[in-house]
């Protein structure tokens, strides 16, 4: 995963809010939707961007699709950003 794709994914406030919510607990798309003023298709788009950036993973559970943080990648990103900011 390139730093580019990661930072693009992180550059949107809605997506960062999604990540914040997923820090607390795994959530289905619909559950997440309750915290936003956008339509579900819009939310779905943001989730797709986060998935492409490998920041979240999803897993179907019956009718729902449960999203959760991809913790190992979070660590990897932290390291990349640390290197970037280390002069």
- In the complex, the residues that contact DNA under the rule CB under 7 A are 8, 11-12, 14, 28-31, 33, 37-49, 58, 60, 62-65
Q: Which residues in the 11-40 window bind its own copies by CB under 8 A?
A: 11, 13, 16, 19, 23
DSSP conformation class of 67 = E
Which residues sit opposite 68 in a β-bridge?
A: 57
- Which residues between 66 and 85 bind its own copies (CB under 8 A)? 69, 71, 74-75, 77-78, 81-82, 84-85
Question: Sign of the CA dihedral 42, 45, 47, 50?
Answer: negative
Cα dihedral 46, 47, 48, 53 in deg (nearest 10): 90
d(CA 41, CA 37): 12
Rounded least distance, CB 41 to DNA, Å: 3
Q: Give the residues lining the site for its own copies (CB under 8 A).
A: 3-4, 7-8, 10-11, 13, 16, 19, 23, 69, 71, 74-75, 77-78, 81-82, 84-87
């Amino acid at each position: 995963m390139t730093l580019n794709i990661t930072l693009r994914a992180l550059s949107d406030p809605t997506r960062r809010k999604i990540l914040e919510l997923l820090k607390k607990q795994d959530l289905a798309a619909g559950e997440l939707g309750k915290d936003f003023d956008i339509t579900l298709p819009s939310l779905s788009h943001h989730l797709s961007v986060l998935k492409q950036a490998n920041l979240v993973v999803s897993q179907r559970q019956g009718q729902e699709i449960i999203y959760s943080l991809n913790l190992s990648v979070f660590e990897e990103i932290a390291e990349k950003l640390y290197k970037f900011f280390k002069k």
